Amino acid sequence: MASNLTLLTTNLTTIFANQIVSLENTLGELTLVVRDVDMLEVLTRLRDDPALRFEQMMDLCGVDYFTYGSDICEGGAYLKSDIAPDAYPSRFAVVYHLLSLTHNIRLRVRVFAEDDDLPILSSVVNIWPCANWYEREAFDLYGIVFTDHPDLRRLLTDYGFVGNPFRKDFPLSGHVEMRYDPEQQRVIYQPVSIEPRELVPRIIREEHYGGLK
């Protein structure tokens, strides 16, 4: 596997010499970061180039770096060594998990959306058709818009849902609640009636906490 990683690293740096933002090897896994303007060209070549041949996209997920690297991180804990806010130029990113059956190796590709207020990236449905519902999920939960998607609409929440529940600034209690109104004989939405509370302590753990290295 080590030789495969070395060969893949060499191929990536050679083929995408002018398009790589960063290429990191962490715990034996490669993460390639490219710009949004280059993503379709890079991802298409990752699929088609005989030296790469990432035929399958195993997963696609959105990421919100809103509180990443801050002194107090909402709802979780980071190792101090993880805090590197300069490494994340924008708030939202999409991560593509790729598999090459030909070369028996995996690759993670990260693309940042430039606009934090309206994150937009190109759809990769024409490269990997399985991206259809994954992109709908990222649109629903993070509000990331995928241009040229054939049917971009919510997937997990309903049509009247307000907001994007996986965003770091989305309240745990939500914005509205739903109940059945016997007088109107239908389901209605109303302002949320419960008060939010802190469930997870805000912690920044020391490096090597609990024996982690």
More confident residue, 182 or 2: 182
Range list of H helices, the chain: 2-15, 39-48, 131-142
pLDDT for res 203: 62
pLDDT in tens, 78-132: 444 444 445 678 999 999 999 999 999 999 999 999 999 999 999 999 999 999 9
pLDDT in tens, 24-59: 998 889 999 999 999 999 999 999 999 999 999 999
Buried b (16+ CB within 10 A) or exposed e, 91-100: bbbbbbbbbb
More confident residue, 190 or 63: 63
How many angstroms separate the Cα of 125 from the Cα of each of 9, 24, 79, 95, 141?
26, 26, 36, 15, 18
State how many domains the chain has: 1
CA 135, CA 57: separation in Å to the nearest integer?
A: 12
Confidence label for 175 from pLDDT (cuts 50, 70 and 90): confident
State the pTM of this model.
0.80
Question: How buried is residue 206: exposed, middle or buried, by Cβ count under 10 Å (0-12/13-18/19+)?
Answer: exposed
Element (H, E) at 200: none
Tokens 């309240």 map to which residue? 171
**What is the average pLDDT value for the chain, to the nearest integer?**
86
Question: How buried is residue 46: exposed, middle or buried, by Cβ count under 10 Å (0-12/13-18/19+)?
Answer: buried
More confident residue, 193 or 14: 14
CATH number at residue 64: 3.30.460.80
Confidence label for 171 from pLDDT (cuts 50, 70 and 90): confident
CA 88, CA 111: separation in Å to the nearest integer?
A: 10
Q: What is the dihedral of CA 120, 134, 151, 163, to 10 degrees?
A: -60
Q: Is 81 helix (H, G, I), strand (E, B) or coil?
A: helix
Interval 133-148 mean pLDDT: 97
pLDDT in tens, 143-169: 999 999 999 999 998 877 888 999 998
Position 209 pLDDT exceeds 80: no
Could you list the residue range(s) of the whole structural domain that residue 83 is in? 2-211
Closest C-alpha among 135, 132, 107 to residue 121: 135
Closest C-alpha among 52, 47, 5, 53 to residue 26: 5
